[in-house]
Amino acid sequence: MPAPSDMEFFIDPSRCIGCESCVQACTECDSHKGHSMIHLEFVDRSRTTQTVPVVCMHCDSPTCAEVCPADAIKRTEDGVVQSARKPRCIACNNCVLACPFGVPKMKVEFELMMKCDMCYDRTSAGKRPMCATVCPSGALFFGKREQIEKERPRSAPLNRFRFGKQIITTKVQMMTPKDNRPEQLDVIAAMFDPPVSRVPLQTITEAIFEDALP
């Protein structure tokens, strides 16, 4: 049964608080064999505690499936890219190296590539993915586009990503600032963006104290 066409997956990295609820919940998905298929990454651990959840973006033209020599990775008719199928996977790591988002991971103990499959056992039955059901900050959201647009009027979804000269469109949407929404997100360029300067809390406190003086 295909997933409902009006239900979409949205990621809002700015809302992630690093609680790892999604990581723990992912292990409970029936098709994951007790392993989490979601990664929680630090943006720049030497400068900030900011984290970002990394799930499969479910590309419209999945590179992982295109480079698989055993045809082990399938994309469903509703656009969900599945984990490698055990009878076919030869543990060659081609998919791991090819994915521009760094999502697939080789489970050495199983000799099998496993990755986020959008909890297909749940979404195909009209339920939300496990990670989206437990995220307390709304960094992971699964629902109707009208709903998230109403709840987050200052954000807009984006599913076009540039890697050099390659444009990749995805089933999963990334929330971006509405007032400064690009046509596509240039991932390579973003990797080299200088860190955003922040005013130290002490400086802010001192300024407030000085303003309060007669």
Is residue 85 in a domain? Answer: yes
Eight-state DSSP code of residue 4: P
Q: Rounded distance, CA 176 to CA 185, Å?
A: 9
Separation CA 115–CA 75 (nearest Å): 13
The CATH number assigned to the domain holding 103 equals: 3.30.70.20
What's the number of CA atoms in the CB half-sphere (13 Å) around residue 65? 16
Distance in angstroms (rounded) separating the CA atoms of residues 162 and 184: 6
Q: Output the CA–CA distances (angstroms, integers) from residue 60 to 12, 63, 123, in the order listed.
A: 20, 9, 18
Residue for token pair 């009878």: 87
In a domain, 77, yes or no: yes
* 140 within some domain: yes
Write down the pLDDT at residue 199.
Answer: 47
Backbone angles phi, psi at 168, to 5 degrees: -120, 130
Q: What's the domain count of the chain?
A: 1
By CB atoms closer than 10 A (0-12, 13-18, 19+), residue 115 is buried
CA–CA separation, 12 vs 19, rounded Å? 15
Distance in angstroms (rounded) separating the CA atoms of residues 101 and 97: 10
Residue 1 lies in a domain: no
Task: Collect all residues with Cβ–Cβ distance below 8 Å to 34 and sequence separation of at least 6.
Answer: 27
pLDDT of residue 211: 47
Q: Which residues pair with 39 in a beta bridge?
A: 54
| Domain of 158, in residue numbers | 8-212
Provide the residue-wise pLDDT of the chain in tens; the chain has 214 residues. Answer: 555 678 899 999 989 999 999 999 999 887 777 889 998 988 888 888 889 999 999 999 999 999 999 999 999 998 999 999 999 999 999 999 999 999 999 989 889 999 999 998 888 888 999 999 999 999 999 999 999 999 999 999 999 999 888 899 999 999 998 887 777 777 766 556 555 544 444 444 454 444 445 5
- 116 found inside a domain: yes
Position 117 in a domain: yes
pLDDT reported for residue 46: 81
CA distance 34 to 31: 8
Q: What are phi and psi of 121, to 5 degrees?
A: -65, -25
Please tell me the predicted confidence (pLDDT) of residue 155.
Answer: 92
Asked if residue 28 belongs to a domain, the reply is: yes
DSSP characters over 180-201: G--SSEEHHHHHTPPPPP---H
Whether 2 maps to a domain, the answer reads: no
Q: Supply the pLDDT for residue 35.
A: 87
pLDDT at 190: 59
